[in-house]
Chain A
Amino acid sequence: MEPTSGAAVSEQTFTPGTSSRALVELRHVDKHFGPLHVLRDVSLTVDRGEVVVVIGPSGGGKSTLCRAINRLEVIDSGEIAIDGRPLPAEGRELARLRADVGMVFQSFNLFAHKTVLQNVTLGQIKVRRKGRKAAEERARGLLDRVGVGTQADKYPAQLSGGQQQRVAIARALAMDPKIMLFDEPTSALDPEMINEVLEVMRQLARDGMTMVVVTHEMGFARSAANHVVFMADGRIVEETTPDEFFTAPRTDRARDFLSKILHH
């Protein structure tokens, strides 16, 4: 499936002349959890600078799709390629590739025994082989950017959920990733903290970061996405622009879903 939202990506920073615009390509991906068929023949292309928001009912395969892109879930069949290179098997090659793919989890997963600053410098020092000074400078810059600069020396458990998630975003950004994956980043947050995280994500999108976002935040999908992917029962049911999806969904499944979440 080729994306249909050419107009929507034009405002993003995007280098013409590169051989391929596609940064992530999934082709005919299938995945089972035991008897459960969680991904059914899923094909999806994410272009450079594009923000793809994946929405749909729980258990529809959204998170699995997101986690399959950096091989935290191993797929049964099909192909996934990042920047033109197919995902390698577990090992050094895969680790190198993962360093280029930032991931933000629902449950933050900040390293509990390390300070906020150490969380953000760890990957830079141990994977990117940067010096401690340069890594800390970059980390403080990123922490300021996501609005938690004053919390650098605290431990994750001392921070609110919203602050922890913003640190997690900074930790991923510190690797200078080509793409950021967000797996329900606001689902574990108290309502009043959701916006501070979404605002950071909107800023990232404006800066031209390529993003795949699994979320239940329809407001975010509407305002930040170039592309909405609606998933249910392991399939991509609909793939279109946010405007089209929210005003004129083509499938009954999507209409049904939207009617349940938008009017109450």
Chain B
Amino acid sequence: MFDFLQGYDVLGAFWTTVQLTLWSAIGSLLWGTALAAMRVSPVPVMRGFGTWYVNVVRNIPLTVIIIFTSLGLFQTLGVSLGAGTFTVINFRLAVLGLIAYTSAFVCEALRSGINTVPLGQVEAARALGLGFTQVLGLIVLPQAFRSVVGPLANVLIALTKNTTVAAAIGVPEAALLMREMIENEAQLILISAVFAAGFLVLTLPTGLFLGWVSRKAAVRR
């Protein structure tokens, strides 16, 4: 029944999906945190940039961003991100595009978490003589992160599925392989089912695990 799988590296394709997800998750967590810090900073220019970035980027379709990384950044501007072969260049461009896009959502999730931290926590920290970055890094963000594990899990699940857009610039991940198999094989429903199941295997445990983390990490007040 699953003979059609022979000759295709389904696991390899999903491994690429996992790698896309992991690198993009790490990158967008860092960049999204920086953006959130900008959005609450006392410097007007930084606040302005953070707000502008989030509102522009989250409203552009991911497909447009991913295709821009290839056509705009690589083919027009010659940005190859230090890679030599097309496969590696496209992989890195896709990660870059996914980070740019996902970080806008991480920023907004985190900002809602920052709003759950009582003002008294900030006042107490400032009264001890901590500076802005210390107050943010030691008191506000640690509590904000703990309260947004759930929303961030949603972002991570969306990101996992969004990696399929990287197929648009030829990154050999799951969706690209699926398209190739649909062209060559007859079992259309089964092929879709196999890939759908593959994504469930990735995202379901992620959601369950982070749900547990979310309960564990919650700050008791």
Asked if A pairs with B, the answer is yes
Chain A interface (Cβ < 8 Å from any Cβ of B) = 70, 72, 90, 92, 95-103, 105, 107, 109-113, 122-123, 126-127, 155, 157-158, 168, 171-172, 175
Chain A residues touching B, majority SS: mixed
Cβ of B220 within 8 Å of any chain A Cβ, yes or no, is yes
Cβ of B129 within 8 Å of any chain A Cβ, yes or no, is yes
Establish whether residues B139 and A105, one from each chain, have CB atoms under 8 Å apart when the complex forms: no
Q: Which of B89-144 contact A (CB under 8 A)?
A: 118, 120-121, 123-131, 134, 138-139, 142-143
Shortest Cβ distance from B117 into chain A, in angstroms? Answer: 9
Cβ of B47 within 8 Å of any chain A Cβ, yes or no, is no
Establish whether residues B129 and A155, one from each chain, have CB atoms under 8 Å apart when the complex forms: no
Q: Could you name 17 residue pairs across A and B whose Cβ atoms are closer than 8 Å? A: A92-B131, A95-B131, A98-B126, A98-B128, A101-B127, A102-B127, A109-B118, A109-B123, A111-B125, A112-B121, A112-B220, A113-B143, A113-B219, A123-B129, A126-B134, A172-B127, A172-B128
Selected contact of A95 from candidates B120, B124, B130, B142, CB within 8 Å = B130
B121, B123, B128: most-surrounded residue (chain A CB, <10 A)? B128
Chain A residues closer than 8 Å to B127, beta-carbon distance: 70, 72, 98, 101-103, 172
Shortest Cβ distance from B181 into chain A, in angstroms? Answer: 48
Chain A residues closer than 8 Å to B216, beta-carbon distance: none
**Please, how many angstroms separate the alpha-carbon atoms of A72 and B125 in the complex?**
11
Establish whether residues B129 and A96, one from each chain, have CB atoms under 8 Å apart when the complex forms: yes
Cβ of B61 within 8 Å of any chain A Cβ, yes or no, is no
**Please, how many angstroms separate the alpha-carbon atoms of A6 and B171 in the complex?**
82
Chain B interface (Cβ < 8 Å from any Cβ of A) = 42, 118, 120-121, 123-131, 134, 138-139, 142-143, 146, 219-221
Chain B residues touching A, majority SS: helix
Establish whether residues B129 and A109, one from each chain, have CB atoms under 8 Å apart when the complex forms: no
**Please, how many angstroms separate the alpha-carbon atoms of A112 and B42 in the complex?**
24
Establish whether residues B220 and A109, one from each chain, have CB atoms under 8 Å apart when the complex forms: no
Chain A residues closer than 8 Å to B138, beta-carbon distance: 122, 126
Establish whether residues B130 and A111, one from each chain, have CB atoms under 8 Å apart when the complex forms: no
Establish whether residues B126 and A72, one from each chain, have CB atoms under 8 Å apart when the complex forms: yes
Establish whether residues B128 and A99, one from each chain, have CB atoms under 8 Å apart when the complex forms: yes
Establish whether residues A171 and B143, one from each chain, have CB atoms under 8 Å apart when the complex forms: no
Establish whether residues B128 and A122, one from each chain, have CB atoms under 8 Å apart when the complex forms: yes
Establish whether residues B220 and A171, one from each chain, have CB atoms under 8 Å apart when the complex forms: no
Selected contact of B129 from candidates A98, A110, A112, CB within 8 Å = A98
Establish whether residues A126 and B146, one from each chain, have CB atoms under 8 Å apart when the complex forms: no
**Please, how many angstroms separate the alpha-carbon atoms of A157 and B219 in the complex?**
9
Chain A residues closer than 8 Å to B42, beta-carbon distance: 90
Shortest Cβ distance from B29 into chain A, in angstroms? Answer: 19
User: Top 5 nearest A-B pairs by Cβ distance?
Assistant: A99-B129, A109-B124, A157-B220, A109-B120, A123-B128
Selected contact of B130 from candidates A126, A168, A172, CB within 8 Å = A126
**Please, how many angstroms separate the alpha-carbon atoms of A246 and B118 in the complex?**
38
Chain B residues closer than 8 Å to A70, beta-carbon distance: 127
Establish whether residues B220 and A155, one from each chain, have CB atoms under 8 Å apart when the complex forms: yes
Chain B residues closer than 8 Å to A103, beta-carbon distance: 123-124, 127
Establish whether residues A105 and B129, one from each chain, have CB atoms under 8 Å apart when the complex forms: no
Extra pairs beyond A95-B130, A113-B219 (10, CB < 8 Å):
A109-B123, A111-B139, A122-B128, A122-B138, A126-B130, A126-B138, A127-B130, A155-B220, A172-B127, A175-B129
